[in-house]
């Protein structure tokens, strides 16, 4: 029996950034590998075939129903053994496309962070949780990355089996490989003084990433504090304008999208995050591996990684005053910075691709052993 797997995600970039080791493994085991994604088309290594889908961010967009119809036709034609869904939007519409299929493939939904938590307003939480509940009967395996999501998925039985995994695994060596600029070179190129305390937050400019909190916090920090915000996105210019209005434009850098994050890490003194919601964020794991102290918003995902006062400092989400206070603690104490950095480096090892990949594949194997055994009866 030919074995086929389909990976789906809202964007090709998601598959390219996080899942190539898994596509490679399936190919090495003789599987036919397909990927169906939204966003700009991209070549996907290890995929025998790709399918472009017209996903739109708005849940009610008619293009998403079109994407579901395309997926349904594809799944009928291919008779997949396993469907692996990623990103909330693609995961929902992929599973919706499975409804009523005579031969339904085993379906594993990897949750990269449910887009709601205890702070989410009732109506939005009800909508998003309701979507997951509707898709639950079509979900054989749910893989969650933080304890809040794990508890929620178990409480509401959002799949036949719910498992906690420590992320998808970070290829620390690969992500830091290649040429990089030294601390001195990068600081000189961007006019950052040698004595400046450089804070780094690489992220898409979006409402969820909340860079405005950090920009407001800069008004409470001394002149030697400099904030670098690499990234692009819809709110970039709005954040740039905010820095100007608050009088901190000279101390907030907007490098745009950068591939060489490792050089910025080498130049930084600390990493910060103001995110509203996360699964298990790569950029904090990379900072831990690089030996950088962290101050981050107190949200799911961040709590799992940092264990407040263990590997990093937490502050209430959206509170720029509390954020500034935690940064000031880092600036004032080299002993604190070194302690957090040391513990972070020790903890980062458990999130490596070498450690996590076998755990994830073991879960796939557990599901597939059931499916393959049933097919042989």
Instruction: Write the pLDDT tens digit of every residue in 202-231.
Output: 999 999 999 999 999 999 999 999 999 999
Specify whether 316 is located in the same domain as 250.
yes
Specify whether 122 is located in the same domain as 60.
yes
User: pLDDT class for 24, splitting at 50, 70, 90?
Assistant: very high
Specify whether 38 is located in the same domain as 160.
yes
Q: Which pLDDT does position 373 carry in this prediction?
A: 54
Tens-digit pLDDT profile for residues 182-210: 899 999 999 999 999 999 999 999 999 99
Specify whether 71 is located in the same domain as 110.
yes
Q: What's the CATH number where 144 sits?
A: 3.40.50.2000
Structural domain of 294:
172-351
Specify whether 161 is located in the same domain as 181.
no
Specify whether 158 is located in the same domain as 211.
no
Query: Does residue 360 have a pLDDT over 60?
Result: yes
Q: Which pLDDT does position 102 carry in this prediction?
A: 87
Specify whether 72 is located in the same domain as 112.
yes
Specify whether 11 is located in the same domain as 131.
yes
Specify whether 42 is located in the same domain as 76.
yes
Over residues 105-124, the mean pLDDT reads 94
Specify whether 133 is located in the same domain as 221.
no
Specify whether 91 is located in the same domain as 156.
yes
Over residues 349-377, the mean pLDDT reads 78
Specify whether 41 is located in the same domain as 97.
yes
Measured at the CA of 110, the angle between CA 109 and CA 113, to 5 degrees, comes to 120
Query: Does residue 377 have a pLDDT over 50?
Result: no
Tens-digit pLDDT profile for residues 127-147: 999 999 999 999 999 999 999
The number of distinct structural domains making up the chain is 2
């Amino acid at each position: 029996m030919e074995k086929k797997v389909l990976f789906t995600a809202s964007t090709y970039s998601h598959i390219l950034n996080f899942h190539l080791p898994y596509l490679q493994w399936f190919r090495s085991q003789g599987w036919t590998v397909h990927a169906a994604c939204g966003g700009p088309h991209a070549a996907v290594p290890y995929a025998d075939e790709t399918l472009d889908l017209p996903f739109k961010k708005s849940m009610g967009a008619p293009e998403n129903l079109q994407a579901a119809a395309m997926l349904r036709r594809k799944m009928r034609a291919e008779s997949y053994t396993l469907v692996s869904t990623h990103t909330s939007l693609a995961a929902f519409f992929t599973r919706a496309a499975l409804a009523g299929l005579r031969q339904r493939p085993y379906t594993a939904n990897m949750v990269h962070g449910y887009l709601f938590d205890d702070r989410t307003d009732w109506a939005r939480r009800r909508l998003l949780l309701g979507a997951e509940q509707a898709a639950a009967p079509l979900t054989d395996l749910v893989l969650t990355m933080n304890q809040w999501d794990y508890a929620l998925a178990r409480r509401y039985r959002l799949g036949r089996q719910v498992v906690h995994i420590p992320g998808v695994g970070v290829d620390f060596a690969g992500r830091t490989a290649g040429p990089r600029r030294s601390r001195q070179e990068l600081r000189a190129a961007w006019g950052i003084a040698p004595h400046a305390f450089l804070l780094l937050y690489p992220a898409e400019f979006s409402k969820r990433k909340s860079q405005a909190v950090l920009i407001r916090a800069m008004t409470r920090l001394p002149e030697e504090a400099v904030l670098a915000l690499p990234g692009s996105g819809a709110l970039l210019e709005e954040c740039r304008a905010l820095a100007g209005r608050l009088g901190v434009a000279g101390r907030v850098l907007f490098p745009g999208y950068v591939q060489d994050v490792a050089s910025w890490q080498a130049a930084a003194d600390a990493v910060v995050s103001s995110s509203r919601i996360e699964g298990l964020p790569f950029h904090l794991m990379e900072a831990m591996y690089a030996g950088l102290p962290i101050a981050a918003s107190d949200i799911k995902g961040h709590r799992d990684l940092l264990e407040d006062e263990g590997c990093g400092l937490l502050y209430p989400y959206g509170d720029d005053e509390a954020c500034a206070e935690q940064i000031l603690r880092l600036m004032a104490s080299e002993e604190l910075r070194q302690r957090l950095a040391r513990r972070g480096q020790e903890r980062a090892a458990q999130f490596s691709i070498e450690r996590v990949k076998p755990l994830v594949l073991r879960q796939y194997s557990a599901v597939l052993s059931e499916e393959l055994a049933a097919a042989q009866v």
